[in-house]
Amino acid sequence: MQHRKLYAALGGLVLAGSLGAVGMQAGNATEAAPAARGTVHLDATLNSLNDSGATGHAHVKITGRKAHVEIDARRLAKGLPHAQHLHFGADARNECPSVFDDTNNDHRLNVAEGVPAYGPILKSLTTSGDTSPKSGLAVDRFPTTPKGVEEYERTINFAPGAVLRAIKSGKGVIVIHGVDHNGNGTYDFEGAGASELDPSLPAEATDPALCGVLR
Protein backbone atom coordinates (compact mmCIF):
# COMPACT_ATOMS: atom_id res chain seq x y z
CA MET A 1 0.00 0.00 0.00
CA GLN A 2 1.40 3.36 -1.04
CA HIS A 3 0.24 5.12 2.13
CA ARG A 4 2.17 2.65 4.29
CA LYS A 5 5.29 3.05 2.18
CA LEU A 6 5.22 6.82 2.21
CA TYR A 7 4.87 7.00 5.97
CA ALA A 8 7.63 4.45 6.45
CA ALA A 9 9.90 6.70 4.42
CA LEU A 10 8.91 9.75 6.43
CA GLY A 11 9.78 7.84 9.57
CA GLY A 12 13.26 7.09 8.30
CA LEU A 13 14.16 10.77 8.49
CA VAL A 14 12.09 12.10 11.35
CA LEU A 15 11.97 9.19 13.76
CA ALA A 16 15.70 8.57 13.76
CA GLY A 17 16.29 12.10 14.90
CA SER A 18 13.43 12.02 17.39
CA LEU A 19 14.53 8.86 19.12
CA GLY A 20 18.04 10.20 19.59
CA ALA A 21 16.94 13.62 20.80
CA VAL A 22 14.18 12.36 23.06
CA GLY A 23 16.44 9.67 24.44
CA MET A 24 19.04 12.28 25.35
CA GLN A 25 16.40 14.47 26.96
CA ALA A 26 14.92 11.51 28.84
CA GLY A 27 18.33 10.81 30.29
CA ASN A 28 18.49 14.33 31.63
CA ALA A 29 14.93 14.08 32.90
CA THR A 30 15.72 11.12 35.16
CA GLU A 31 17.95 13.38 37.24
CA ALA A 32 15.44 16.19 37.44
CA ALA A 33 12.69 16.67 39.99
CA PRO A 34 9.21 15.54 38.85
CA ALA A 35 7.12 18.20 37.13
CA ALA A 36 4.62 20.08 39.22
CA ARG A 37 1.16 18.55 39.29
CA GLY A 38 -0.68 21.83 38.79
CA THR A 39 -2.88 22.15 35.70
CA VAL A 40 -1.50 24.08 32.72
CA HIS A 41 -3.57 25.10 29.68
CA LEU A 42 -1.82 25.56 26.33
CA ASP A 43 -3.29 26.77 23.03
CA ALA A 44 -2.01 26.84 19.47
CA THR A 45 -3.44 28.49 16.40
CA LEU A 46 -2.70 26.05 13.59
CA ASN A 47 -1.64 28.04 10.57
CA SER A 48 -1.52 26.85 6.98
CA LEU A 49 1.77 25.72 5.49
CA ASN A 50 2.39 25.11 1.80
CA ASP A 51 -0.78 27.02 0.88
CA SER A 52 -2.81 24.06 2.12
CA GLY A 53 -5.73 26.36 2.89
CA ALA A 54 -6.30 24.48 6.14
CA THR A 55 -6.96 26.18 9.46
CA GLY A 56 -7.18 24.88 12.98
CA HIS A 57 -6.77 25.22 16.72
CA ALA A 58 -5.25 22.96 19.36
CA HIS A 59 -5.80 22.99 23.10
CA VAL A 60 -3.76 20.95 25.56
CA LYS A 61 -4.60 20.63 29.24
CA ILE A 62 -1.73 19.19 31.27
CA THR A 63 -2.37 17.89 34.77
CA GLY A 64 0.56 16.12 36.35
CA ARG A 65 1.90 13.76 33.71
CA LYS A 66 -1.30 13.56 31.63
CA ALA A 67 -2.05 15.82 28.70
CA HIS A 68 -5.55 16.05 27.22
CA VAL A 69 -5.14 17.06 23.57
CA GLU A 70 -7.93 18.55 21.45
CA ILE A 71 -7.52 19.51 17.78
CA ASP A 72 -10.14 21.16 15.62
CA ALA A 73 -9.03 21.56 12.00
CA ARG A 74 -10.82 22.44 8.76
CA ARG A 75 -10.11 22.29 5.03
CA LEU A 76 -7.59 19.47 5.21
CA ALA A 77 -7.24 17.18 2.20
CA LYS A 78 -10.42 15.09 2.16
CA GLY A 79 -10.35 11.36 2.69
CA LEU A 80 -6.56 11.14 2.94
CA PRO A 81 -4.43 10.14 5.94
CA HIS A 82 -2.87 12.98 7.92
CA ALA A 83 0.04 12.11 10.18
CA GLN A 84 0.14 14.51 13.13
CA HIS A 85 2.61 14.97 15.94
CA LEU A 86 3.71 16.99 18.92
CA HIS A 87 7.28 18.06 18.19
CA PHE A 88 10.05 19.25 20.47
CA GLY A 89 13.80 19.33 20.12
CA ALA A 90 16.55 20.44 22.49
CA ASP A 91 18.47 21.77 19.48
CA ALA A 92 15.46 23.00 17.48
CA ARG A 93 14.02 26.51 17.39
CA ASN A 94 10.70 25.02 18.59
CA GLU A 95 8.66 27.17 16.24
CA CYS A 96 6.87 26.79 12.92
CA PRO A 97 8.95 27.02 9.74
CA SER A 98 8.72 29.96 7.37
CA VAL A 99 9.62 30.69 3.76
CA PHE A 100 13.16 31.30 4.96
CA ASP A 101 13.44 27.58 5.72
CA ASP A 102 12.85 26.74 2.04
CA THR A 103 16.53 25.92 1.56
CA ASN A 104 16.16 24.44 -1.92
CA ASN A 105 14.07 27.40 -3.15
CA ASP A 106 11.31 25.28 -4.67
CA HIS A 107 8.60 27.48 -3.09
CA ARG A 108 7.31 24.87 -0.67
CA LEU A 109 8.38 23.46 2.68
CA ASN A 110 9.16 19.78 2.97
CA VAL A 111 9.66 17.67 6.08
CA ALA A 112 13.45 17.93 6.12
CA GLU A 113 13.29 21.71 5.88
CA GLY A 114 10.80 21.91 8.74
CA VAL A 115 12.64 19.77 11.30
CA PRO A 116 15.20 22.44 12.33
CA ALA A 117 12.28 24.71 13.22
CA TYR A 118 9.85 22.40 15.00
CA GLY A 119 12.19 19.62 16.05
CA PRO A 120 11.74 15.83 15.99
CA ILE A 121 8.64 13.91 17.02
CA LEU A 122 7.97 13.81 20.75
CA LYS A 123 4.44 12.37 20.66
CA SER A 124 2.45 10.78 17.85
CA LEU A 125 -1.10 12.09 18.00
CA THR A 126 -2.72 8.85 16.98
CA THR A 127 -6.38 8.00 17.43
CA SER A 128 -5.63 4.84 19.44
CA GLY A 129 -2.76 2.75 20.76
CA ASP A 130 0.84 3.87 21.15
CA THR A 131 1.69 7.59 21.06
CA SER A 132 5.48 7.35 21.13
CA PRO A 133 7.74 8.44 18.24
CA LYS A 134 7.70 4.79 17.11
CA SER A 135 4.10 5.38 15.98
CA GLY A 136 5.03 8.50 14.07
CA LEU A 137 3.91 6.91 10.82
CA ALA A 138 1.13 4.62 12.02
CA VAL A 139 -1.06 5.47 9.04
CA ASP A 140 -3.98 3.31 10.20
CA ARG A 141 -4.19 5.26 13.46
CA PHE A 142 -4.18 8.83 12.16
CA PRO A 143 -7.24 10.85 11.08
CA THR A 144 -8.31 10.54 7.44
CA THR A 145 -10.70 13.55 7.48
CA PRO A 146 -13.36 12.28 5.01
CA LYS A 147 -14.89 15.77 4.83
CA GLY A 148 -11.66 17.66 5.35
CA VAL A 149 -12.61 18.18 9.00
CA GLU A 150 -10.71 16.88 12.01
CA GLU A 151 -12.11 16.83 15.54
CA TYR A 152 -9.50 15.03 17.57
CA GLU A 153 -9.45 14.37 21.30
CA ARG A 154 -7.17 12.13 23.30
CA THR A 155 -5.29 11.98 26.61
CA ILE A 156 -1.61 11.06 26.41
CA ASN A 157 1.02 10.44 29.07
CA PHE A 158 4.42 12.08 29.61
CA ALA A 159 7.40 11.09 31.68
CA PRO A 160 8.20 13.64 34.40
CA GLY A 161 11.19 15.90 34.00
CA ALA A 162 12.82 18.42 31.69
CA VAL A 163 10.91 17.58 28.51
CA LEU A 164 7.50 17.92 30.14
CA ARG A 165 8.55 21.21 31.70
CA ALA A 166 9.65 22.45 28.27
CA ILE A 167 6.25 21.65 26.77
CA LYS A 168 4.48 23.37 29.66
CA SER A 169 6.67 26.43 29.16
CA GLY A 170 5.53 26.85 25.54
CA LYS A 171 8.08 24.95 23.45
CA GLY A 172 5.86 22.26 21.95
CA VAL A 173 4.85 22.43 18.28
CA ILE A 174 1.93 20.61 16.66
CA VAL A 175 2.31 19.68 12.98
CA ILE A 176 -0.24 18.02 10.69
CA HIS A 177 1.06 16.56 7.40
CA GLY A 178 -0.52 15.94 3.99
CA VAL A 179 -1.17 18.54 1.27
CA ASP A 180 -3.18 17.96 -1.92
CA HIS A 181 -1.29 20.63 -3.86
CA ASN A 182 -3.17 20.19 -7.14
CA GLY A 183 -6.59 19.55 -5.56
CA ASN A 184 -7.32 16.31 -7.37
CA GLY A 185 -8.31 14.34 -4.27
CA THR A 186 -5.26 12.13 -3.98
CA TYR A 187 -1.57 12.23 -3.13
CA ASP A 188 0.23 12.09 -6.47
CA PHE A 189 3.36 13.31 -8.24
CA GLU A 190 1.59 15.96 -10.31
CA GLY A 191 1.15 18.37 -7.42
CA ALA A 192 4.73 18.78 -6.18
CA GLY A 193 6.85 15.99 -7.59
CA ALA A 194 8.62 13.40 -5.51
CA SER A 195 9.15 13.48 -1.76
CA GLU A 196 12.65 14.34 -0.58
CA LEU A 197 12.40 11.31 1.69
CA ASP A 198 11.90 8.78 -1.11
CA PRO A 199 11.73 9.65 -4.85
CA SER A 200 9.17 6.88 -5.38
CA LEU A 201 6.67 8.74 -3.17
CA PRO A 202 4.68 11.94 -3.81
CA ALA A 203 5.72 15.00 -1.84
CA GLU A 204 2.04 15.79 -1.27
CA ALA A 205 1.85 12.92 1.21
CA THR A 206 4.66 14.13 3.44
CA ASP A 207 4.57 17.94 3.18
CA PRO A 208 3.36 19.72 6.35
CA ALA A 209 -0.11 21.25 6.05
CA LEU A 210 -0.63 22.92 9.45
CA CYS A 211 1.62 24.07 12.25
CA GLY A 212 1.18 25.83 15.58
CA VAL A 213 3.20 26.47 18.74
CA LEU A 214 1.56 25.63 22.07
CA ARG A 215 1.62 28.76 24.22
- For 79-136, write each residue's pLDDT tens digit: 999 999 999 999 999 999 999 999 999 899 998 999 999 999 999 999 999 999 999 8
Domain extent, residue 137, equals: 2-213
- Count of domains forming the chain: 1
3-state helix, strand, coil in the chain (%, to 5): 30, 25, 45
pLDDT tens readout for residues 130-171? 999 999 878 889 999 999 999 999 999 999 999 999 999 999
Segments of the chain assigned E as strands: 39-48, 55-63, 66-74, 84-87, 121-124, 150-157, 173-177, 208-213
The candidate with the shortest Cα–Cα distance to 12, out of 212, 205, 197, 200, is: 197
Mean pLDDT comparison of 15-19, 67-71, 189-193, highest-scoring range: 67-71
Torsion angles phi and psi, residue 122, rounded to 5: -100, -45
pTM here?
Answer: 0.82
CATH assignment of the domain containing 146: 2.60.40
